[in-house]
């Protein structure tokens, strides 16, 4: 069913992190254009388990390419699905309420089994994934639970992914190398274009809601109402206004249950790095167009060429 190719180019070697060095390209044997960059550890231990995972109709999934508003959307979805339970939200980490299914498949030494966390939740289960369509559970397409898909313009996604690589995975390479690798579909979970387009093409299915990060930034109440309707929930305008305050950038960045301060501290301790919350926050900037202050002309042009490859199928928002 799959071809597995070990990636050992000089550029790929430069992407090595404290937690992952064994990059592989997983592709479909009957359609090599469908591929994803993952780890050998994922192939050996999680690929088949995830494909054969039991799915329930009342599951709720948030699926994205990394750094496209995933965490923000998870908190919105969990709150809407749980009667706006602010008390529980402020007591239990988001990763526990809404597990990142394949996270423990990325690094060998990951301290918990996130696949087990996702599958063993009480129903209705809330599950996050960055996997592309062809690596997700087969039953997802027959049982058809609710899926909220979110994307973002690739320039901001690439810059945010770079900062995540540096501060969460302890990547020591340069930004130039990372942006080049992103544009050549070599970073983890790549390719972004294919990831987005595959979901864009099925966006009209009744169990799928397709969102843009930029729309959430520009009119959050509108997008909250859209998700509320999709989830068959009904809240008052006052409820929506209060939720939007809870979901504001300043609120989320200060919320330790969402902003993963403890996780960053643990990673820093494991790798001997200095923990500096002023230098890096998991909820970092949350801006549209933040790439303009960070990319060189060469890096920006490289990503422009990347975006052009997808323009005939999807128009990203800026």
Residues pairing with 5 in the sheet = 25
Residues pairing with 2 in the sheet = 28
- Angle CA 117–203–245, to nearest 5: 65
Q: How far apart are CA 224 and CA 81, in angstroms?
A: 12
Q: How far apart are CA 37 and CA 32, in angstroms?
A: 13
Q: How far apart are CA 164 and CA 162, in angstroms?
A: 5
For the four alpha carbons of 20, 181, 262 and 277, in that order, the dihedral sign comes to positive
| Catalytic option among 41, 130, 163, 195 | 130
Centre a 10 Å sphere on the Cβ of residue 278 and count the other Cβ atoms it contains. Answer: 5
130 an active-site residue? yes
Q: Looking at the annotation, which residues are catalytic?
A: 130
């Amino acid at each position: 069913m799959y071809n597995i190719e070990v990636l050992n180019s000089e550029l790929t070697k430069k992407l090595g992190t404290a937690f992952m060095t064994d990059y592989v390209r997983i592709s479909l044997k009957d359609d090599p254009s469908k591929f994803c960059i993952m780890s050998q550890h994922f192939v050996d231990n999680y690929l088949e388990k995830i494909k054969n995972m039991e799915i329930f109709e009342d599951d709720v999934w948030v699926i994205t390419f990394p750094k496209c508003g995933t965490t923000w959307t998870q908190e919105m979805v969990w709150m809407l699905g749980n009667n706006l339970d602010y008390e529980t939200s402020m007591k239990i980490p988001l990763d526990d309420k809404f597990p990142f299914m394949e996270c423990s498949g990325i690094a060998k030494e990951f301290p918990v089994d996130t696949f087990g966390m996702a599958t063993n939740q009480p129903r209705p289960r809330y599950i996050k994934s960055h996997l592309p369509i062809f690596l997700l559970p087969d039953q997802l397409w027959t049982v058809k639970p609710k899926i909220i898909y979110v994307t973002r313009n690739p320039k901001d996604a690439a810059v945010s992914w770079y900062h995540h690589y540096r501060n969460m995975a302890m990547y020591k390479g340069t930004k130039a190398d990372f942006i080049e690798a992103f544009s050549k579909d070599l970073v983890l979970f790549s390719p972004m274009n294919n990831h987005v387009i595959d979901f864009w093409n099925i966006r009209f299915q009744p169990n799928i809601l397709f969102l843009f990060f930029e729309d959430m930034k520009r009119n959050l109440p509108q997008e909250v109402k859209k998700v509320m309707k999709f989830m068959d929930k009904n809240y008052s305008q006052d409820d929506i206004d209060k939720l939007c305050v809870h979901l504001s950038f300043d609120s989320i960045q200060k919320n330790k249950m969402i902003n993963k301060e403890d996780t960053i501290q643990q990673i820093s301790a494991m790798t001997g790095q200095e923990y500096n919350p002023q230098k890096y926050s998991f909820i970092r900037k949350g801006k549209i167009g933040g790439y303009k202050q960070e990319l060189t002309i060469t890096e920006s042009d490289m990503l422009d060429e990347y975006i052009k490859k997808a323009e005939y199928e999807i128009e990203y928002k800026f």
